[in-house]
Amino acid sequence: MKICFYSQGHIGDLLLQLPLIDILIKTYPENQYYYYSIGGDNTFFYEGLIRIVDNLFPTPVLNGDINIPTWFCNPEYNQFRETLPQDNFFPDYFSMQKYFFPKILKSHGLDIEVFDDCGIDFNYEIPTQVIESVEKYKNTKDKNVILFNQTPRSGQTDANRYANYLIDISTKHPDYNFFYTNEESIESNIPNLHHTPDVFGRYTCDILYNAYLSNYCKYIGGRVSGPYMFSAMHNMNVLDSEKIIVSQINSHMGVETFYNKKIYKAKNIQSASTSSTFEILNKEILGDQS
């Protein structure tokens, strides 16, 4: 049987469901599994993002004998919202997934068990060139900072440029490496300030390669969005109690809310703005130096 998943959400929403899809595939390995590569507002889910789950394949068309939505805002989920107790509160998105997604699957005759310690733990396929390029920064992990400065798509935080802040903080801390993921108007040649495509090469979709680099950064910061979440929510980061993660989002939801709070160990600090993000980072770096 062919099972095809689809979402009307964006890249971060794709990531949230992949651990549960992985459980389904391992429970029913006899089926063929696909993920429709187009999301909401014409978001394109790159092949590499889908294939981080073994035996899940991208498809440009809805081609399943069963087509299953994975985003909680899809109308198919409404029937299960009606059964929620009025005082029900989900402490994080994994709790919400554990409630909703198995019910959607069961309506198609598929049963899975979602364990309490479920997390995002995939082995990203990284080109040898990227591994070799990142290798030289592994020994300075405690002094590496990666910042995800992509423009937010859904009003989650401000869209202020990072350029001046990047120049300022990298100048203040010349013995730290500062990596930023998206192009900025920076003319200064600062040796410890690095645009990540200049580190490992320019790829059509470098989300996974930024995530790999983040494994060797003690500090992870930036705007909460799909590219950010692929890095900040991976087990390799959130299960590390030495990591400091600064989540820039103008709501009450920090990264540990998107994750599984029961297993979250990193230090997560919420930031409401770009200026606040850099103030927090500067304070944390100074604190580690004292």
How distant is the alpha carbon of residue 104 from its chain centre?
24
pLDDT in tens, the chain (290 residues): 999 999 988 898 899 899 999 999 999 999 999 999 998 888 899 999 999 999 999 999 999 999 999 988 888 888 888 777 676 678 888 888 898 999 999 999 999 999 999 999 988 889 999 999 999 999 999 999 999 999 876 677 888 999 999 999 999 999 999 999 999 988 888 999 999 999 999 998 999 999 999 999 999 999 988 899 999 999 999 999 999 999 998 776 666 677 888 899 999 999 989 999 999 999 999 987 76
Q: Which domains does the chain have, with CATH numbers?
A: 2-106 (no CATH), 128-289 (3.40.50)
Residue type, 179: F
Give the residue from 107, 120, 132, 141 showing the smallest Cα distance to 263: 120
Rounded distance between C-alpha atoms, residue 14 and residue 5, angstroms: 10
Those residues whose C-beta lies under 8 Å from the C-beta of residue 257, and which sit 6 or more positions away, are 91, 92, 93
The predicted pLDDT at position 24 comes to 97
Edge-first strand listing for the sheet containing 244-248: 193-195, 177-180, 144-148, 219-223, 244-248, 267-271
- Identify the bridge partners of residue 68 per DSSP, sorted by sequence position: 5
Question: What pLDDT score was predicted for residue 252?
Answer: 62
Q: Is residue 58 within 8 Å of residue 47, measured between CB atoms?
A: yes
* Cα–Cα distance for residue pair 158/47, rounded to 1 Å: 29
